[in-house]
């Protein structure tokens, strides 16, 4: 199975990682999906991004913080990036 998947991975553009569908608000509303709202919350407040780790590699090495920075900008416009400090201040951070 891996021999079939591995060659295909070379042709996948990591920036297409859902950004086509998530950037289309009309499509998401028609499908009843909440993916766009979760992506917006991650890109503007939470910064909940899952990246590559040498220890527990469940993601491609191409899925980095820089990848997510571009992904957020592709979805919601240039300059879109989470203000985690402001979110922690507003909701109490680790002092919940």
Residues 16-67 pLDDT 10s? 556 766 777 776 566 656 778 888 999 999 999 988 888 877 888 888 899 8
DSSP string, 19-76: HHHHT-HHHHHHHT--HHHHHHHIIIII-------SSS--S-TT--HHHHHHHHHHHH
- Quote the CA–CA distance of 9 and 61 in Å, as a whole number: 12
Mean pLDDT along residues 80-90: 92
Name the more confident of 83 and 36. Answer: 83
- Quote the CA–CA distance of 74 and 78 in Å, as a whole number: 7
- Quote the CA–CA distance of 49 and 38 in Å, as a whole number: 11
Mean pLDDT along residues 10-20: 58
Name the pTM for this structure. 0.70
């Amino acid at each position: 199975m891996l021999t079939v998947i591995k060659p295909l991975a070379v042709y996948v553009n990591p920036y297409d990682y859902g950004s086509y569908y998530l950037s289309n608000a009309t499509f998401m509303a028609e499908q009843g999906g909440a993916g766009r709202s979760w992506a917006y919350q991650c890109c503007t407040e939470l910064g909940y991004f899952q990246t590559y780790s040498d220890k527990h590699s469940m993601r491609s090495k191409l899925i980095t913080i820089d990848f997510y920075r571009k992904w957020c900008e592709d979805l919601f416009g240039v300059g879109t990036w989470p203000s985690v400090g402001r979110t922690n201040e507003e909701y109490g951070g680790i002092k919940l």
